[in-house]
Chains A and B, each alone.
Chain A
Amino acid sequence: MLSVFYIIANFKVPQEIGTSPQSMLLLLPLVAAISVVYKATKLPEITAKEFLKESALLFGSIVVFIAVTALILCAVAWLIMS
Chain B
Amino acid sequence: MGFRSEQNRIVFVLVVGLMSWLIPGGGYFLLRENRRGTIILVTIALTFAVGAYIGSIGVVDPVGAKLWYLAQILSSPAVAAVGHLTAGGGYPVYGRPAEVGQIYTSIAGLLNLLCIINAAYLAYAGKPSPETD
Q: Which residues of A contact B (CB under 8 A)?
A: 10-19, 23, 26, 29-30, 33-34, 36-38, 40-44, 46, 51, 58
CA of A17 to CA of B43 in the docked complex: distance in angstroms?
23
Report chain A residues within 8 Å CB of B98.
14
Report chain B residues within 8 Å CB of A12.
56-57, 91
Q: How many residues of B contact A (CB 8 A)?
A: 40
Report chain A residues within 8 Å CB of B52.
11
Nearest 6 pairs of A and B residues by beta carbon: A14-B97, A41-B118, A46-B35, A33-B47, A40-B39, A37-B111
Give the secondary structure class of A's interface: helix
Report chain B residues within 8 Å CB of A11.
52-53, 56-57
B128 close to A44 (CB less than 8 A): yes
B50 touches A (CB below 8 Å):
yes
CA of A37 to CA of B35 in the docked complex: distance in angstroms?
12
Could you list 27 A-B pairs, sorted by A, with CB under 8 Å? A10-B53, A11-B56, A12-B56, A12-B57, A13-B56, A14-B97, A14-B98, A16-B97, A17-B97, A23-B96, A26-B54, A26-B100, A30-B47, A30-B103, A30-B104, A30-B107, A33-B44, A33-B47, A33-B111, A34-B111, A37-B40, A37-B43, A40-B43, A41-B36, A44-B127, A46-B36, A51-B39
CB distance from A64 to the nearest CB of B (A): 14
A33 close to B108 (CB less than 8 A): yes
A14 close to B128 (CB less than 8 A): no
B128 close to A43 (CB less than 8 A): yes
